[in-house]
């Protein structure tokens, strides 16, 4: 496996990579590069597989801290606000990683096709790291090579992603994905609730309304939401709004008041206060620094 990792790393290093996010011909696969260690940055992980080729990273969610490098992979099974920092990188040996994202529909389809069932009460945090194996790494390798073959992508991409999910679900038995297999289970219901919350980000949905949509009592909803995300529903929703406001200011050049209003804040001072508390820097200076650095910070 060491030789396979080295070969893949060398192929990636031959690319004309920029600092930060590098897109590929496969929209659901990006390559991230950093020649420097970074301070702690807040972002949102979508359902994804993260594989490091070189360097190391620390990810924090709630009280859980995960350190991983090229001997392991990270899996997220839903949309999670996390803090992360690169702890091993240099000009000569930059941090390099793949992120391969999945839709919930792709995950559910694979679970159904592989006839997976799990105890309905099984539930855990939707983020974890595992030791990487050769089968998974080989599929990532072939997916990267597929990204260079434009004419074959449309035909083969679905097969390759399903193969990745097979190794995650069957070979590695990742509970973060397996817990979604029981459609009446708590993890499945919380993942659906998160989909509603992200889709209706600008609406003023109460916790009671969201719990009702997924057929859960409010007390169970609170309990299992925190198990799955390490956050309460209100904390999660506030962070998602702050992240969306940040995205709007960066990608659409919205001013602070416009972005705050767009995500539901009626008070600019409250928005700035909560933004500074979460990101550790006031919004105007944060956006100025991000635009100056030229490095996209989302989903990395």
Tell me the domains of the chain and their CATH numbers: 2-178 (2.60.120.10), 186-229 (1.10.10), 236-293 (1.10.10.60)
For residues 95 and 86, the answer to whether their CB atoms sit within 8 Å is yes
Token pair 């219901």 is at which residue? 189
Residue 195, strand partner residues: none
Rounded (10°) CA dihedral 231, 233, 235, 237: 130
List the chain residues with pLDDT less than 70. 116-123, 181-184, 202, 293-300
pTM (predicted TM-score): 0.85
Helix (H) or strand (E) holding 191: helix 186-199
- pLDDT, tens digit, 9 for 90 and up, residues 211-243: 999 899 999 999 989 988 989 999 998 998 999
Can you give the pLDDT at residue 267? 92
Helix (H) or strand (E) holding 291: helix 283-293
Q: C-alpha 282: how far from its chain's center?
A: 24
Can you give the pLDDT at residue 29? 97
For residues 260 and 202, the answer to whether their CB atoms sit within 8 Å is no
Can you give the pLDDT at residue 299? 46
- Rounded CA-CA distance 24/13 in Å is 14
Residue 135 three-state SS? helix
- pLDDT, tens digit, 9 for 90 and up, residues 267-290: 999 999 999 999 889 999 998 888
- Rounded CA-CA distance 246/285 in Å is 12
- Rounded CA-CA distance 284/272 in Å is 9
């Amino acid at each position: 496996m060491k030789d396979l990792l080295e070969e893949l790393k060398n192929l990636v290093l031959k690319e004309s990579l920029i600092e930060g996010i590098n897109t590929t011909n496969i929209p659901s696969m990006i390559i991230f590069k950093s020649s420097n260690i970074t301070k702690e940055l807040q972002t949102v992980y979508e359902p994804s597989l993260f594989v490091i080729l070189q360097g190391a990273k620390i990810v924090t969610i709630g009280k859980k801290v995960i350190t991983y490098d090229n001997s392991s992979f990270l899996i997220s099974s839903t949309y999670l606000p996390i803090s992360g920092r690169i702890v091993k990188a240099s000009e000569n040996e930059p941090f390099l990683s793949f992120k391969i994202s999945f839709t919930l529909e792709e995950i559910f389809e694979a679970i159904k096709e592989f006839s997976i069932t799990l105890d309905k009460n099984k539930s855990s945090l939707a983020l974890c790291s595992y030791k990487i194996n050769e089968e998974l790494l080989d599929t990532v390798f072939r997916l990267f090579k597929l990204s260079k073959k434009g004419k074959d992508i449309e035909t083969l991409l679905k097969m390759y992603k399903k193969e990745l999910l097979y190794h995650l679900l069957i070979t590695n038995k990742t509970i973060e994905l397996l817990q979604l297999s029981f459609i009446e289970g708590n993890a499945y219901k919380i993942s659906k609730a998160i989909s509603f919350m992200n889709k209706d980000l600008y609406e003023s949905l109460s916790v009671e309304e969201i719990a009702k949509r997924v057929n859960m009592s409010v007390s169970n909803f609170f309990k299992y939401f925190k198990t799955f995300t390490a956050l309460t529903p209100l904390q999660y929703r506030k962070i998602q709004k702050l992240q969306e406001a940040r995205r709007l200011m960066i990608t659409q050049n919205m001013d602070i008041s416009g972005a705050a209003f767009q995500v539901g804040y009626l008070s600019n001072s409250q928005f700035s206060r909560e933004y500074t508390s979460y990101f550790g820097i006031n919004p105007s200076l944060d956006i100025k620094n991000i635009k100056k650095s030229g490095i996209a910070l989302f989903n990395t």
